Amino acid sequence: MDDASSPTVSLQAMMMSCGIDEKEGRYIFVTDIPSEFLDADMKDTVRMILEDTIAQNITNLYRKYIWHDKKSKPMLYVQLKRALYSRLHAALLFWNLLLDTLLS
């Protein structure tokens, strides 16, 4: 089941859109911008929790902030400075960055 915050497009919808674009004589361009989400700064406060193996593999600098839940699972709260890939909010941040860049 898809995550509600991760929009997906069905293959049928994409093919229908391509057919309409072709019929109307539209030009379609596709590009990939490497690490695009890493360039979008977070303006809101977004926190997440790292658990288990991820929390255990944190550098020594942050190890003192790790705590353990009732089941002794290591946990670490972090605050994001950059957009996190695959989240809808990250896509919006990147779109705003791209739009601002193109307009300027």
Q: How far is CA 71 from CA 35, 49, 50, 68, 77, in A?
A: 36, 16, 15, 7, 17
Q: What is the predicted pLDDT for the residue at 20?
A: 92
pTM (predicted TM-score): 0.45
Residue % of the chain over a pLDDT of 70: 74
Phi/psi for 24 (5° steps) reads: -85, 0
Higher-confidence residue of 34 and 71: namely: 71
The predicted-structure confidence for 87-103, as pLDDT tens digits, reads as follows 666 777 778 888 888 88
